Each structure stands twice: as structure tokens, then as C-alpha cells.
Structure 1
């Protein structure tokens, strides 16, 4: 449709596995090296796997075109067949002559073995390539193991290449396929290309088709194409083809980022571009917030601050010349002073205190007794707990401490009251 408009002599982004359009990225060069090694070595099976559209078939076709004309090649592209059908298909590809009355596996194996021995004697290698090998059932894989038994005393007569998707590697790990898995002497996994290779890949295909590669796709368009396709060749072809159609329909001479994004909605069914860029950012923010929430919960369960124990962080109260004046209610307290000689002196004094339900009480007691005194303050009302403060040898202001005091009995004519002695300050 757009070939004449852009100056192409053929479609540059066909999804057919044309070896002429193969761009040998660093990864594809490594894969090609594995295939060459498999043919020249004395191994049995070479495994080439990769996700859909990563270029396994195109790479293999490129490799096969480089073989000598005398090489014997059997290519199986539809392996969804039984074990016996696979054997018959291999014989057909090698053009092995089988008697018309041959109906058993042994008869086919004997005929194939004779053919391979003759090819080996003529120094002509024999290669079996099975594409889409992930579709082989276990019976067919067992037949492949039997084919690897065709050998001389010194080397195998048949090299086998298995091309398939990533699940083929998982299938071969089955315990009942251990014998097949052990015969694999080389493995390689194809993935998507790097971002800089995607631009070179597009340029290579445009040049092969006769187009102006330097001006047709903008740099931002190429970057967006890589983000949308993750460098998978087949997806690149589909997206570039649709982008060229959109540019042709809009009478545009260059494909920009907006055209690529519109083409992505038509090819993939949604705006893949926004998903590719925004999802990682949102995921990062969500991850940071999750970690922050976990840290706050952990700190909240271990820190006194989150328990509202403010006494551990507030500074001690300043000295005051006189005790604070409170006008709400009076209570009778008993002050017991224990001297160093062990004698006990009890004094009673009435203090004006603030009694508020569910609140704490700060009592400022001033004493001029000697050092090393132990002062015990006990309210005279029933159900009162005691609090003890020890002073050191030098007169100083003691730290604040919490001393909860609770009344247990209630009077009918008085409201329920709880007194909490939050701190006692002793001044010398």
C-alpha cells in the first residue's frame, strides 16, 4: 500500500522469516555461533529457545543458507505429529528410500541408518531441524532420542537442532525425559534487543527494502517503538508497518511519536505507550509508600513517643518558690519521713489538690530534710497507692516520674474520682 509512496520496492516490515532482513544483533550473533558449533561438533542436540517473535526461525533460515550445497538437511516445521509420523517425515525430508511394504518403526530406522552411513562416508553432514519443538509430545521426543543412537564408534551420524519457545526447556526437565535432556550439548536463549539495537534493526530493514532510513522514523518514534515492543523483532515489524500505513493515510513524510502511539492502539488494542512509561513509576511510588507505612507501624509499636509517654521526652519542671494554687477540692495526705537513723516520723498536712476525673495530678512538695531521705506520700482516702522518691547527697531537683494513684471506693453523694500522681518534685 505505501511502498511506492515511501520509495520501497517491497514491504520492509513483513513478518515472514526472510533471511535477507535478519539483523545480527549481539544476541543473534551469539545464537548463530551456537548453531555453527552444533554442526561442527560431535554433539547430539542443540537447543535454541526464545519467546514468540524473537527471531528463532529467521536465524535458523539464515544459518541454513550458509551451509554447503552437499549438506543434507531435514526441516520439520509442523511437529504436532506422532512419533512414527515424525520418523516418516524425517525420512521424506532426507529423501530416504523406504520399501512400499515398510510399516514398522524398525524398517524406517534401518533405512535411515543406511542413508546416514552413506552420507558420513561421503563426508556430507546430516542435520535435522525441528521448529516449534515445544509442540512435540513425549513420544516424539523419545523418537528423537532413538535417532541420536544412530552413530558410529567415533561420532554421531545425525545432528539435531530443536527450536522452540521457552516452555520447551521446562518440558525437557521432566523426569521421564532425562535421557533426552542429557543428550543436549548446547543451549541458547533469545530475548529482545537493546534500545540502541532497535533503531539499527529498523534502519537495516528500511535499507534492504530501498527506503530512506535516516529520515523516515524520528528518534523519539524509535524510542517509543522500543518501549512498546521490548525489542522483540516481530512486534517491531507489526508496529512499524502499521505506523507507515498511518503516515501514508495522513500524507506524512515522516513517522513521529504521535503516529506510533496511534498505531500501537490499533495493533495492540490499547495505548501501550502510556502503560510502558507510567506503570513503573506508579509501582515505584506504591513500593516506597508501602515501605514507609511498614516502618511507621514498626516504630509505632516500639517507640515511647507513639505510646504517648510524654514524660520520657519532656524536660523536668522548673523550680518554683511556692506550690501551685488549686481551688477545686481538698484532700488529707500523710507525709512519712524516714531519717537515716531508722526512726520514723509521721506528719499530717492538708494539701489543696486538683481532683479531675481520668486526669493526673502534679504535686509539688518542698522539703528541707537532710540528704538520703526517703519520702513516701500516701493519700488518706481509701484505695491509695504509695509513691517513693529517693534523693541523693546533694540538693537537686528530681526527675519527673509517674506514680498512678487510684481510689477504689465511691461515695454516693460524691462523683466518681480517680487521682493520678504524675510527678513529685523535691527541692532542697
Structure 2
């Protein structure tokens, strides 16, 4: 109902369907990852706090580098080394028995990678939410992926995405590409909102300049926080029969998620 009220074809801020907005930092991150893939570098690491757009950057990268001569295996939140290897092997078309051991799963992944090499395909192994592998042994398994096919003719790139805790420091490996995503500036916040609304069919302004300023301030420039607050504000505005969203509306809906990780 609220989407029809604002003449939107869909929720502009739904992460599952909203478009990639080419903000400078996100575009740079995608470009650096593309360069990693195209030059055949072994490893790239994307690390940032929750809600900064890591998964969206990863999805954009994979959509831009996908070709018939590249195989992409993307998984999310592996719980241990065995599931890490099993899920990647299955994403490459290998069958792994349920409950397979770490050793068997590693063997199946190696076989799948060798088959790709024989077919002259480059392989991209993309692992989202790597922070869910807290055990040191599992982290070693994650590091082992770059050696899963050690043949000189192998073309393998591993992309690791980590969500950092608020108090966690970013680790920098001097031998790998480490990418961060900064918070959005006020001007970027406005462009972010405008682009998402336009992609959903709304060209006219929806938020006043002061409302955009409040959105940026309350979300601290975190894209997921902006999405959540903007969605709630549009719902509230439709219920109140408003023609435009004011800072007071943004302030009111922020109370609903003031203590949520999505709005901080």
C-alpha cells in the first residue's frame, strides 16, 4: 500500500532487489576486486563493519566478471572447515556426501578445481561472512583455499568477506589486497537515496534536504541504516497522508530501531 502511495514499483530499499548504487568508495572496491580477478591474483579480503554494503559489492563484482570462461562459487557463513570445502565443491558441481569429513571435502574441492583447470576455466571462490569461522583450525582451512590447486596452470582467485565487530581492528595482510568501505558522506547519502528511488520509478523528491540530513546523521552514513530508516519513513509518511518526508518523520521512526544494529 505505501509503495503505491509513493508511486513506487517496489521497495527501493529492499537489499534483495534494490540496485547497486555506484558510490565512489563502492565503485572503487568493485574495480579493485575486478583487477584482482583479471590479473589472476590469489587473494582479496573485504573487511568492514555490519551494514556497510560488503555483500552488495561482492554481488556486483561477480555479476561484472562472470563469463563462460570463469566459474564462480559463492557461499555464505560456513560454520567449519568441512562445510567450507563441501559447499565450495558443490558450488563447482562436485557431489559431496552429507557429513563428509574435512579431508574428503578438501579432496572433492581439489577434484572440482582440477576439472575447471582442464577445461581452461578461471575459478573464483567467494566466501561471505567469513567471521563465522572463529576456530583457528577453520581459519587455517580458509587460508588454505589459495593452495587448493597448486598447479602452475591453475587460475584461482579467493575473495574473503569479513564482518568486523564495532570494537574490532581491521587486519592487514601485506601480501593480499585488503579493502575497506567508509561510511557515506552527506552528499553520497542524498545520491544513494535518489538513485534507489529512481530505480523504483520515483523521480520526484520524497525527502526534504533536512530530512536527508537527519537520515545521514542518525544512520551515521551506514547504508543499511539509511535503507531501514528511509523505508520506515516512507511507510509512516503514507499512513499520515504526507506529500513529502520531513526530518520530524525521520526522527520519529528512528525510535523504532534506535537500538538496532541496522540503524547504527
Taking structure 2 as the reference length, the TM-score comes to: 0.87
What pairs with 1:225-374 in structure 2 (closer than 5 Å)? Answer: 225-268=215-258
What residue number does 2:12 align with?
A: 12
Residues 143-152 or 83-92, more deviating: 143-152
- Secondary structure at the counterpart of residue 165 of structure 1: strand
What residue number does 1:382 align with?
A: none
Match of 1:163 among 145, 161, 181: 161
Match of 1:208 among 196, 199, 212: 199
Quick check: 1:17–1:61 contact (8 Å CA) kept in 2? no
- The higher relative CO (CA closer than 8 Å, separation ≥ 6) is in 2
Structure 1 distance, partners of 2:199, 2:81, is 41
Match of 2:188 among 180, 197, 206: 197
- Deviations along 1:159-204, one digit per CA (max 9) or x if unpaired, are 111111235985868xxxxxxx56x520111121111010010000
Cα displacement (A) at 1:94: 1.2
> Kindly tell me: are residues 29 and 97 of structure 1, through their superposed partners in 2, closer, same or farther at Cα, counting changes over 3 Å?
same
> Kindly tell me: are residues 256 and 104 of structure 1, through their superposed partners in 2, closer, same or farther at Cα, counting changes over 3 Å?
closer
> Structure 1 or 2: larger strand share?
1
What residue number does 2:25 align with?
A: 27
Quick check: 1:242–1:267 contact (8 Å CA) kept in 2? no
- Deviations along 1:281-306, one digit per CA (max 9) or x if unpaired, are xxxxxxxxxxxxxxxxxxxxxxxxxx
1:58 is aligned to 2:56: yes
Quick check: 1:28–1:59 contact (8 Å CA) kept in 2? yes
Cα displacement (A) at 1:253: 1.1
Q: CA RMSD in A?
A: 2.7
> Kindly tell me: are residues 107 and 261 of structure 1, through their superposed partners in 2, closer, same or farther at Cα, counting changes over 3 Å?
closer
- Deviations along 1:372-403, one digit per CA (max 9) or x if unpaired, are xxxxxxxxxxxxxxxxxxxxxxxxxxxxxxxx
Q: Which has the larger radius of gyration?
A: 1
1:74 is aligned to 2:80: no
- Deviations along 1:326-352, one digit per CA (max 9) or x if unpaired, are xxxxxxxxxxxxxxxxxxxxxxxxxxx
> Structure 1 unaligned runs (5+)?
174-180, 271-428
- Secondary structure at the counterpart of residue 215 of structure 1: coil
Structure 2 distance, partners of 1:263, 1:97, is 48
Aligned positions, number: 258
Quick check: 1:229–1:235 contact (8 Å CA) kept in 2? yes
